Amino acid sequence: MHALIDRLIRPEIRALRAYHVPPAAGLIKLDAMENPYAWPEALREDWLEALRDAAMHRYPDPRGGALQPALREAMGIPADMGLLLGNGSDELIQMLALAVAAPRAGERPKVLSVEPSFVMYRMIALFAGLDHVGVPLQPQDFSLDAERLLTTIEQEQPALVFLAYPNNPTGNLFDPDLIERVIEASPGLVIVDEAYAPFTDASFIPRLGHWPNLLVMRTVSKMGLAGLRLGYLAGPPAWLEQFDKVRLPYNINVLTQASAAFALRRRDVLDQQTQAIRSQRAALLASMGSIAGIHCYPSDANFILFRTAPGQAGAVFDGLLHRGVLIKNLDGAHPMLSDCLRVTVGTPDENAAFLEALSESLSSTQR
């Protein structure tokens, strides 16, 4: 069997590890940038009532005809822009990669992103047989290195450029003027990934159509609907028509479409939760800033990246886990993230438990 695997499976795939999601049962789960708030009971009852008419015996609407107007209205997508739905942002990244994957002039097309950033840009490029080019961010504050980025674009001529805005895992917003320069300098498409849009007022959606090569990608996961796995891509219709050709049929199931349409009609509840998370983010940053032994980075997302003293990230992570709090250990994920951990903003009680566990963990590592 192993010989057959070696013969059939690409070596770069054999070298990978499957995406790992750590078990979280019984823990305060602050590792995955989820909205910590459940729906109120009355809203859940209304939602279940809305699902009664879902046609479970039929295939779903392939393009989400009833869902698209709700998304357009809720997210302010310009009427002249196209909209494409995906099973989370990951599937949309995959559609984009598959659509441009054919070699040209004997060379594989390139996908460019900055580093550190969302790991799936690089991973999906590999899956699709594309070359990935990573441009390091400025080490002191994770901002764009304009000269290096623009020079690399000129040299590599990427088919796709991905910029997360705000960036994951660093939490910061890039300079919008520099993003405009990237759009204007790029020979291919620039995709501004606004997964964390609920936690910032900055967006490129109002600028769609200003450049022929700009697309904006979002997800509803971070606004409290992570379980639905729904992402969307907005941009000039001529582009989305091409990417729609590689979309798998019926990729957005009946329950997701009905649930998302319902939730967007009650977006006031989700917005209240988002505002609570923003408020808690500010409070958590202030509290973490007074804790000796760590350095926190500013965030426009629903998480906070922080750095421990050299060599202590693993011990602090384990100390938190021992005290019932699960966050994300990024130490080793990228050279710029050495000694870094990332915590999702939770409820006030969850944040208080995290702060107490963090202080205890830091104390125990410094003894």
pLDDT tens-digit readout, 236-285: 999 999 999 999 999 999 999 999 999 999 999 999 999 999 999 999 99
Strand partners for 275: none
Last residue of a domain, one of 242, 266, 290: 266
What does each C-alpha distance from 73 to 51, 68, 169, 285 come to in angstroms?
22, 9, 29, 33
Question: Are both 182 and 330 inside the same structural domain?
Answer: no
Considering only CA atoms, which of 275, 328, 341, 258 is closest in space to residue 22?
328
Question: Are both 141 and 259 inside the same structural domain?
Answer: yes
Question: Are both 275 and 255 inside the same structural domain?
Answer: no
How far apart are alpha carbons 209 and 211 in whole angstroms?
Answer: 5
Q: Can you give the CATH number for the domain in which 329 is found?
A: 3.90.1150.10
Per-residue pLDDT of the chain in tens (367 residues, 90 and over written 9):
878 888 888 888 888 787 777 888 889 999 999 999 999 999 999 999 999 989 999 999 988 989 999 999 999 999 999 999 999 999 999 999 999 988 877 789 999 999 999 999 999 999 999 999 999 999 999 999 999 999 999 999 999 999 999 999 999 999 999 999 999 999 999 999 999 999 999 999 999 999 999 999 999 999 999 999 999 999 999 999 999 999 999 999 999 999 999 999 999 999 999 999 999 999 999 999 999 899 999 999 999 999 999 999 999 999 999 999 999 999 999 999 999 999 999 999 999 999 999 999 998 876 6
Residue 217 lies in a domain: yes
Structure token pair of residue 223: 């606004």
Q: Can you give the CATH number for the domain in which 242 is found?
A: 3.40.640.10
Question: Are both 254 and 280 inside the same structural domain?
Answer: no
Cα torsion 327, 307, 317, 357: sign: negative
Residue 181 lies in a domain: yes
How far apart are alpha carbons 222 and 224 in whole angstroms?
Answer: 5
Residue 46 lies in a domain: no
Residue 49 lies in a domain: no
Residue 299 lies in a domain: yes
Instruction: Judge whether 81 and 234 are in contact, CB under 8 Å.
Output: yes
Cα torsion 161, 166, 170, 176: sign: positive
The total of structural domains in the chain comes to: 2
Residue 96 lies in a domain: yes
Question: Are both 257 and 272 inside the same structural domain?
Answer: no
Find all residues with CB under 8 Å of 258, minimum gap 6, and list them.
Answer: 50, 51, 53, 54
Question: Are both 182 and 211 inside the same structural domain?
Answer: yes
∠ Cα 115 117 120 (to 5°): 115
Rg of the Cα atoms in the chain: 21
Last residue of a domain, one of 266, 285, 313: 266
How far apart are alpha carbons 360 and 351 in whole angstroms?
Answer: 14
Question: Are both 272 and 250 inside the same structural domain?
Answer: no
Question: Are both 190 and 74 inside the same structural domain?
Answer: yes
What does each C-alpha distance from 312 to 138, 291, 351, 358 come to in angstroms?
23, 15, 21, 12
Question: Are both 124 and 232 inside the same structural domain?
Answer: yes
Question: Are both 6 and 75 inside the same structural domain?
Answer: no
Residue 13 lies in a domain: yes
Question: Are both 246 and 275 inside the same structural domain?
Answer: no
Instruction: Judge whether 144 and 138 are in contact, CB under 8 Å.
Output: yes
Structure token pair of residue 310: 């050299």
| Domain span holding position 29 | 2-40+268-365
Question: Are both 207 and 189 inside the same structural domain?
Answer: yes
Last residue of a domain, one of 266, 291, 309: 266
